[in-house]
Amino acid sequence: MTDWTPYTARARDWFAQLRDSICAEFEAIEREAGSDAAFDYTPWQRAAVEGGEAGETGGGTRGLMKGKVFEKVGVNISSVVGDLATDFAGTINGASADKPAFSATGISLVAHMANPHVPAVHMNTRFLTTTKAWFGGGADLNPPLPYDEDTAEFHAEFQAACDAHGPGYYDRYKAWADEYFYIPHRKVHRGVGGIFYDHLECADEAAWEANFAFTQAVGRAFLAVFPRLVRRRMGMEFTPADKLQQLEWRGRYAEFNLVYDRGTLFGLKTGGNIDAILMSLPPEAVWS
């Protein structure tokens, strides 16, 4: 059985590097808007999980910025090791009540924008091990006021990343995002989609390298395309009606994350930091 520890460390280091690059770019956008907003970083340690072992190994850093362009953006990294709660282990790929041990490392980002013409966005990538090892992640765009140009550009960037790493990746992972980022009780999608992949398993070291390269490409695609969209829209004028539409769509975003999102549940069930887990929630929302 492969010892994934050094591979987990490599993935963790990449996620931290990607976090630093993204945060620097977002702070540069704030400077362009005449703002001195910067990320505040708060470290946290994993808490014990009810039903599991003490498992107080690992933690992460919550990065949060509230500025002129980014009304609220969180960029979190984490790396944790321990046992899953017995009533939750069976829901995780390769884990069970008899074999609840896991490790997980990843980056998670959600940005809620001040200007409703600028799309909100979500991105995360992660590497997990149980009795299996796999990568997952993706990104999706959530514009209150959609622009076909922005949607096409966002998808094109991720299609290029997918096409370079596997035939059929883009069609498969775009369809998975359309299925996953859907709010059944509203009968609407959360946004205009993107890509979503999970359980990209690593049967051996060669598979790990290939899947890691793809996961890195996903992160680079996000870093390439989203700042361009922000800069394109952040100076546009907007009306009170535009702002109201943004706040209503934020309500739907909150509903999805609290009711359906797997990442939220995983964080809560594995002793994650509550503030880091719920950083995805918008700073303000309305319900009709």
Active site (catalytic) residues: 122
DSSP notation for 198-220: EEEE-SSHHHHHHHHHHHHHHHH
182: three-class secondary structure by DSSP: strand
Report the 10 Å Cβ neighbour count for 277.
23
213 Cβ neighbours under 8 A, 6+ residues apart: 165
> Both tokens of residue 191?
């946004």
β-bridge mates for residue 108, sequence order = 76, 124
> Both tokens of residue 180?
């996953």
C-alpha angle 154-117-125 in degrees, rounded to nearest 5 = 40
